[in-house]
Amino acid sequence: MKDIELRLDSTKIHPNSEIKGNVVVTYPGRYDGVVINIQILNSNELIIYKSYNDKQISQNVSRLFISKDSMPENKASFTAVIEFEPKETHDVKFRASIIEQHKEIESDVLFARFSA
């Protein structure tokens, strides 16, 4: 089993629909938290994070850091949205990484499709 696992409720994403994901950490060592990066390939558009672990996010952030202190049982959930209307289908890269003392320890990557 991986030290970190990233899952999405659906890998088919549409404009203004909620993206729901989960991260599970089984890393046996100490760590500070996880960071989640989402990149819309072949686009300059950004994703908007809405919440993590049922806590609303009040400002737009390009990278979501979730402290280990905010991860009961080493699990985290998040929601996000892509608000622009695509002219073509885009691949979306999701990457979750374990962070320890400002260094990436382990990561998991998955891809989704974004279309109108």
List the pLDDT tens digit at each of the 116 positions of the chain.
789 999 999 999 999 999 999 999 999 999 999 999 999 999 999 899 999 999 999 888 879 999 999 999 999 999 999 999 999 999 999 999 999 999 999 999 999 999 98
Which long-range CB contacts under 8 A does 56-63 form with residues at least 24 apart? 62/37, 63/35, 63/36, 63/37
Strands 90-100 and 103-114: antiparallel
Alpha-carbon distance 57 to 55, whole Å?
7
* Domains of the chain, each with CATH number or no CATH: 4-114 (2.60.40.10)
